[in-house]
Amino acid sequence: MAITLPDLPYAKDALEPHISAKTLEFHHGKHHNAYVTNLNKLIDGTDLAGADLEGIIKKVAGDTAKAGVFNNAAQVWNHSFYWKCMKPGGGGRPSGALADKINSAFGSFDKFAEEFKTAAATQFGSGWAWLIDDGGKLAIMKTANADLPLAHGKKALLTIDVWEHAYYLDYQNRRPDYIGTFFEKLVNWDFVASNL
């Protein structure tokens, strides 16, 4: 079964003015699509060709001989998840069980937001910041390059992409501005809650 590029869950201009249609054209249409294309080439004719994306990631995680497969598979997964973490008119604060779990784990939403933003801002080079479920406890994790919680037996609830291609057309080198806007205007808390 070939791995396919999922459609964005909204129109390319739906996140404007916070993330431009041009950014999504490049980020989804070029970067994400290239990972899909590369992965399909790498697994063609191998025992991984019939596996689903998560199965591929779990099978090759930590295998240095399969680093190319892992990097491309993980980036397909990461991006597919990231798109769902945003929505037009998103941001603000979560409610219900998610809000309760965040308050319990971090002391307050503001403390959680501060820790998440710091993780995203201090990820050196390319990578991701995550809110994860680590055995029933919420935690923040950051990963370099293509790495993801799934490869470490943890469940992703929310992510922000801090590779430069995620924000450079709109924010240039102002990663903290992108992170702040992501939190205030874009986070899809309904999706995050559905991952609990």
135: alpha, beta or left, given left = phi > 0 and alpha = psi -120 to 50? Answer: left
pLDDT digits (tens, 9 = 90+) for 146-185: 999 999 999 999 999 999 999 999 999 999 999 999 999 9
| Surface-to-core class of residue 70, CB atoms within 10 Å of its CB (0-12 exposed, 13-18 middle, 19+ buried) | buried
Domain boundaries, the chain: 21-84, 96-194
Q: What's residue 52's pLDDT? A: 94
Say which residue the tokens 């992108």 belong to: 178
- The fold of 96-194 is minor pseudopilin epsh fold (3.55.40)
Q: Do domains 21-84 and 96-194 have the same CATH topology?
A: no
Q: What's residue 50's pLDDT? A: 87
Alpha-carbon span 185 to 79, nearest angstrom: 19
Q: ∠ CA(3), CA(4), CA(8), 5° rounding? A: 140
Sheet of 155-161, strand order: 137-144, 127-134, 155-161
pLDDT digits (tens, 9 = 90+) for 29-60: 999 999 999 999 999 999 999 899 999 999 99
Q: Taking residues 131-145, report their average pLDDT.
A: 97
Q: What's residue 2's pLDDT? A: 85
For residue 18, the SS3 value is coil
Q: Is the pLDDT of residue 1 over 70?
A: no
Q: Residues 87, 129: contact at Cβ < 8 Å? A: no
Alpha-carbon span 51 to 191, nearest angstrom: 25
Q: Please give the CATH architecture assigned to the domain spanning 21-84.
A: Orthogonal Bundle (1.10)
Q: Residues 12, 24: contact at Cβ < 8 Å? A: yes
Alpha-carbon span 106 to 192, nearest angstrom: 16
